[in-house]
Chains A and B, each alone.
Chain A
Amino acid sequence: MATAYDIPVKQGDVQKESGAPIVAVKELRKAFGSHKVLNAINLSVNRGETLAVLGRSGTGKSVLLRLIIRLETPDSGSVCIHGENIAGLALDRMGDIRKKIGFLFQHAALYDSLTVAENVAFPLEHHRRDMSRRERDDWVKQLLAEVGMEGDLGKMPSDISGGMQKRVGLARALALKPEILLLDEPTAGLDPISSGEIDDLILKLQRERQMASIVVTHDLHSARTIANRLALLDQGNVVIDGNYEDLQNSDIAFVKEFLKQS
């Protein structure tokens, strides 16, 4: 969707359009104490592609997203964004990369002292100081309209439902026009109608913006709806990485069990 306020690419930022995946995770390991969460996993996502990461609770799906945006540091292995390993990056450079990533947290993580509109404006106020207040307000309204929240600009996060909070969180994640979208359980805890609406919204945004997306979810139906590829994690390993048909045709016992129970 063309907007009036496109986020310009800074000089020096390398835009690698062809070939190489936008996000590449290689031999990534993470443990908390003696508990191994991720065990040398490999995944990649290309532009315009949506990868759904599925698995049981506690298999490290959310940790994977946190590692990609470097809210956690890996024990070994690498996370490359546009071919650049983020592990040793200075905070400034990491900041530049984070501006290209939109993150929807599991419980939306809206700032509870700010209104809905202020939440969405928050990243813009810090990174788009060149925008006038009016331009910023218009862009915030446009984003909130995209997620169907245009009538709730002045409400506080505590005054809206969980589903609405997720929509606002999604609008905030999209504020800087990210190239990569990370969604942590976007439909968890929502009723089937709200889940469907969120799925439709993600699909619509994907079609319009062609981002590289990684969606962590338990919900196989939702994953099938929004993702091109599915990766199933078990005990810190990627058991299978393919489309839904690949999962259906798999002989792996865990995959069969997961599909049966979902």
Chain B
Amino acid sequence: MSNGFTTVSEIGPPQPVRLNPLLSRVLVGVARPVEGFFEWFGSLGIFTWQVLKAAVTPPCEWRELIRQLDEIGSKSLPLVALAGAAIGVVISMEARYSLSRFGAKSMFPATLVYSVIQVMGPIMTGLIVSGRVGAGIGAELASMKVTEQIDAIEASAINPYRLLAATRILACILMLPLLTIAADGCGLLTGWFAQTLVEPLSFHQFIESGFHGATFNAFLPPTFKTAVYGLIIGLIACFQGMRTRGGAEGVGRAATNSVVLASLFVILADVVLVKFILVVFP
């Protein structure tokens, strides 16, 4: 080293990098959830691809689809209708109070109609269905998974992605807009009724002034965006159910995760869809 340079022979073998133990623990603590996050999305992507492939290849599982339409649609109807009715009354009371303060009572029918159909009806239906159907699908499929029923389906040369997942997801997509229409209808009816108890207003007059100047663009996109909620609810619930491991604990975890994740993604999707609708259907 006389000339000030290090020769290759003087370098020696590379030394392992030693991290501070605390720093190393922090890094592992951060890396693990990040890895889990990407693993979850990767698995969801593979699952979605499998379901899509199964859904577009024959045979169609009509019987199971009809059973799921009944299970997801008809059996959710009373709950969704009741929640819609309650929301209608609440909006009616709140709107009347707020509009009176600003001397805009004549705007009441339009406020109620737009609030229910554009905002509250779709998101409330999405959240109610994620609770009821998300938990139901998650728990049912998880229970089938841990008791080897899904393996038995596969062993019988039947594609479980087609029979169990595609039918449930399609039923959610088809039923959410219809349930939303039912919730909207109940909300408008009870909202009008609550108003009538305080200040008589004919239903004909309520409808006429509520929908005055309205276009289909104002009502159809918010209603049909719930098909996307249906996709999210069905996909996440089926995914969580079919990837379950463990016994009763795994089933409980699958049901909880289905509801929590489906509700979260429905709310996030709402943000994106509202912006999308405002841009595409101004």
Q: Do A and B bind each other?
A: yes
Interface residues of A (CB under 8 A from B): 66, 69, 71, 91, 94-96, 98-99, 101, 103, 105-107, 109-112, 122-123, 126-127, 172
Contact A122 B156 (CB under 8 A): yes
**Which chain B positions have C-beta within 8 A of A110?**
149, 152
**Which chain A positions have C-beta within 8 A of B59?**
126
Looking at the assembled complex, report how far the CB atom of A66 sits from the nearest CB atom of chain B, in whole angstroms.
Answer: 8
What are 14 of the A-B contact pairs (CB < 8 Å)?
A66-B151, A71-B151, A71-B154, A95-B159, A96-B157, A101-B155, A103-B152, A103-B155, A106-B148, A109-B152, A112-B149, A122-B156, A126-B59, A126-B158
Interface residues of B (CB under 8 A from A): 59, 143-144, 147-149, 151-159
Looking at the assembled complex, report how far the CB atom of A116 sits from the nearest CB atom of chain B, in whole angstroms.
Answer: 15
Looking at the assembled complex, report how far the CB atom of A79 sits from the nearest CB atom of chain B, in whole angstroms.
Answer: 14
Contact A98 B155 (CB under 8 A): yes
Given A103-B152, A105-B155, 5 more pairs with CB closer than 8 A: A94-B157, A107-B148, A111-B153, A112-B149, A126-B59
- Which one of B153, B154, B157 contacts A99 once the chains associate, using CB atoms below 8 Å? B157
Top 10 nearest A-B pairs (CB, nearest first) are: A98-B157, A109-B148, A95-B157, A109-B152, A103-B155, A123-B156, A99-B157, A105-B148, A126-B158, A109-B149
CA distance A126 to B158 in the complex (A): 7
**Which chain B positions have C-beta within 8 A of A66?**
151
CA distance A25 to B159 in the complex (A): 25
Contact A111 B152 (CB under 8 A): yes
Looking at the assembled complex, report how far the CB atom of B134 sits from the nearest CB atom of chain A, in whole angstroms.
Answer: 19
**Which chain A positions have C-beta within 8 A of B156?**
98, 122-123, 126-127, 172
**Which chain A positions have C-beta within 8 A of B154?**
71, 98
**Which chain A positions have C-beta within 8 A of B153?**
111
Contact A105 B158 (CB under 8 A): no
**Which chain B positions have C-beta within 8 A of A69?**
155
Contact B158 A111 (CB under 8 A): no
CA distance A126 to B154 in the complex (A): 12
The chain B residue sitting closest to A94, CB to CB, is: B157
CA distance A110 to B157 in the complex (A): 16
CA distance A69 to B148 in the complex (A): 14
Contact A112 B147 (CB under 8 A): yes
**Which chain A positions have C-beta within 8 A of B144?**
111
